[in-house]
Structure 1
């Protein structure tokens, strides 16, 4: 019988837990169970619900390359080894294999099926290419075949038109009618505007998002996943390019993103942590970018843990929850680098580290 105690975030209360199979139990374990001696695996420090990456694409090194199930297993393992015990995959080259959620050694996966791309709006053949006339039906099909999500490529080139607002609105209404949710890739002002006005559930990237839309996002519950670390990794290379319309639009969008992310938090929008990059298991770096954008450290940590779990319908560290937790010797809100140094990782009631 495994036991642990420590300061639980975000409550900042010292608590004790024990593990009953794959379930977390609050308090001290009941005594008198023959043959089940208690083993304390965490005694002090800081306890978090498992970390979450809400925008990751394991299974292929880049869009357009073949989907590889062995690579999928390895990359999900990279997430797990970093304490990322739940992920959302907003678009992959093929639907998530059934064995993924059955494997006790891998994180919980919330999938959105295949990327849905209308002509000219994605890498050809990287996801599910559909015409605009087919998009609504395809979105419902992917939502039903996945974890309830679908992912639409809402725009592509910075100087080309986005998916029309009436069409994206029809997608959101149809998917919501069957109990699903819609994620939208958007990196142009028009694409972001259409996604918000259509009432989708999450904006992925959101470059060039108009701050005037933030109050509406908050009111209707549209989350913002800015993937700052992915953009930040490319910023220097983009600045080194010869000036062009696309380069200058990209840089203008990137330069505005930290302020937009901070304003989104202040407006009450759920800002969540997603990496959209490799290697997997680097959501701590995204938390660091969120802090640099001006989001309080504890809020940024929640974006990669308890807030993201709640948004995905997963509980935190409460009695009866799945036994998924990560322990640290120092407070990660004061030492963001601590996220890269977990002292203990427990997934589905089993000690991973």
Structure 2
């Protein structure tokens, strides 16, 4: 039987757990067990219930490259080896294969099925192309065939119309009636506004988000996944382009994003960490960008760990929870760089590092 001891975040309390059949049991070894029956795998340090990337697309890195199950496994393993023990995939080129859920070596995956794109609003053939008349039915199908989520492309080109608000509202209502949730890709002012007004469960990117909508998002529980690190990586390349409507709108959106992320947190919106980039396993970098945006380190780490887990319906480090945890030598809220150097990773009760 395995035993762990350390300071648990976010509570900042020292706790001792046994790992019994992949489940955490609070307290030390019972009296009937000797030291030879118990292996101490973590003895001190700081314990997190696993990092989380809520916006990642393993399985393909390029629209010209077909979805590849071998790549999917490798990229999910990259997440795991970085201490990312749960991911949400808001849109993939194919529905997530069943073996992903059953594989004890891989992070827990919440899938949103295939991207749902209406004409002119995505890369043709990369997701599931549907007409506007088919969108509501397709959204319910993807949500019920996946982990309960679907992903809708709410806008695409910066100077072209977003998905109409009445249609997006109908999608959200139908998916909610089926017990599912809706993630919306939005990078334009119109697309982001429509996603909020339609009652989407999460805004993916949320560029050009109107701060006047933040109170509405907080009241309805709409999460904000700004994917700052992927925008930051493309900023210099975009600035080097010739001036034009799309370039200028993109840069204007980026220039306001950090302020919007801070304002969203201050308004009580759930801000979460998602990378939308490669290599996989880099959510620690997204946390650093959330700190740059003005989130307190504790909140930014929560966005990449316990807050994201709770949002996905996963427990933290409590009695009876799945034994998923990452240990660090120092407090990651004081030293975020330590997130890149976990001292121990335990997934489903098994030590993987």
Q: TM-score range by the shorter chain?
A: over 0.9
CA distance in 2, matches of 1:231, 1:35: 51
The answer to whether the Cα contact below 8 Å between 1:64 and 1:124 also exists between their aligned partners in 2 is no
CA distance in 1, matches of 2:27, 2:168: 48
Q: Shift of the alpha carbon at 1:136?
A: 0.1
CA distance in 2, matches of 1:100, 1:24: 23
Name the CA shift for 1:165/1:44 in 2 (closer, same or farther; >3 Å).
same
1:212-251 alpha-carbon deviations (Å, 9 max, x no partner): 0000000000000000000000001111111111111100
Length, aligned pairs only? 353
Gaps of 5+ in 1: none
CA distance in 2, matches of 1:133, 1:351: 49
CA distance in 2, matches of 1:63, 1:277: 13
The answer to whether the Cα contact below 8 Å between 1:64 and 1:123 also exists between their aligned partners in 2 is no
Gaps of 5+ in 2: none
CA distance in 2, matches of 1:72, 1:36: 39
Tell me whether 26-35 or 138-147 shows the greater mean CA deviation. Answer: 26-35
Aligned equivalent of 1:75: 75
Task: Please give the TM-score of this superposition, normalised by the length of structure 1.
Answer: 0.99
Aligned equivalent of 1:200: 200
CA distance in 1, matches of 2:167, 2:65: 29
Aligned equivalent of 1:335: 335
Q: Shift of the alpha carbon at 1:36?
A: 6.5
Q: Shift of the alpha carbon at 1:64?
A: 4.4
* SS in structure 1 of the partner of residue 133 of structure 2: helix
The answer to whether the Cα contact below 8 Å between 1:183 and 1:202 also exists between their aligned partners in 2 is yes
Aligned equivalent of 2:266: 266
Where do 4+ consecutive residues of structure 1 move more than 6 Å? none
Q: Shift of the alpha carbon at 1:21?
A: 1.0
1:247-290 alpha-carbon deviations (Å, 9 max, x no partner): 11100000100000000000000000000000000000000000
CA distance in 1, matches of 2:234, 2:164: 29
CA distance in 1, matches of 2:18, 2:62: 41
CA distance in 2, matches of 1:346, 1:305: 15
Aligned equivalent of 2:282: 282
Task: Please give the TM-score of this superposition, normalised by the length of structure 2.
Answer: 0.99
Q: CA RMSD in A?
A: 1.0
CA distance in 1, matches of 2:64, 2:134: 21
Q: Shift of the alpha carbon at 1:65?
A: 2.4
Aligned equivalent of 1:146: 146
Q: Shift of the alpha carbon at 1:139?
A: 0.1
CA distance in 2, matches of 1:298, 1:348: 25
User: Does residue 305 of the first structure (1) align with residue 314 of the second (2)?
Assistant: no
Q: Shift of the alpha carbon at 1:30?
A: 1.6
